[in-house]
Amino acid sequence: MVVQAVQAAMHHAAVHGLPELRRTGGIGQIPILTFFKRGDKKMAIMEISVVPIGTETPSVSKYIASALSELEKEEGVAYRLTPMATIVEAKNIKKLFSIAEKMHACVVDKGAKRVFMVLKIDDRHDKKLTMEGKIESVKKK
């Protein structure tokens, strides 16, 4: 039932020229949907790995949850949490760097004595770049 409602909303947005609606995450059966401006070819994708060092325990999930909470506040951003990093899709590279800085600050504010970050950025300008599009391109080959 939820899947059909999401598909109907996406179709409605496309038919009526509304901003593009994409599923960008979810909690269980509840989808998280994000609107994107149609026809915008500038899009950048970042893989970010935030590693708190100097923590009280070996577990770092509370630090990562804090950084993810900051990411969820961002408008017009799609992301995918993976076991080793988070993939973030935004309008431009400036937005991605701003997000990385905010995620870093959250981990420090949570008490990490040191933060090690790894960023990989794909900043394409000749055509629209999305997480899903990159995956589909590989699958088609």
In the chain (141 residues long), the average pLDDT of successive 10-residue segments reads: 61 58 59 56 88 93 94 92 94 94 96 96 83 87 86
Residue span of the structural domain in which 51 resides: 40-140
Same domain? 51 vs 67 = yes
Same domain? 25 vs 62 = no
Same domain? 104 vs 125 = yes
Which contacts of 3-9 are long-range, i.e. CB under 8 A and separated by 24 or more positions? 6/31, 6/33, 9/33
pTM (predicted TM-score): 0.69
Same domain? 25 vs 47 = no
How many independent structural domains does the chain possess? 2
Same domain? 25 vs 75 = no
Same domain? 92 vs 119 = yes
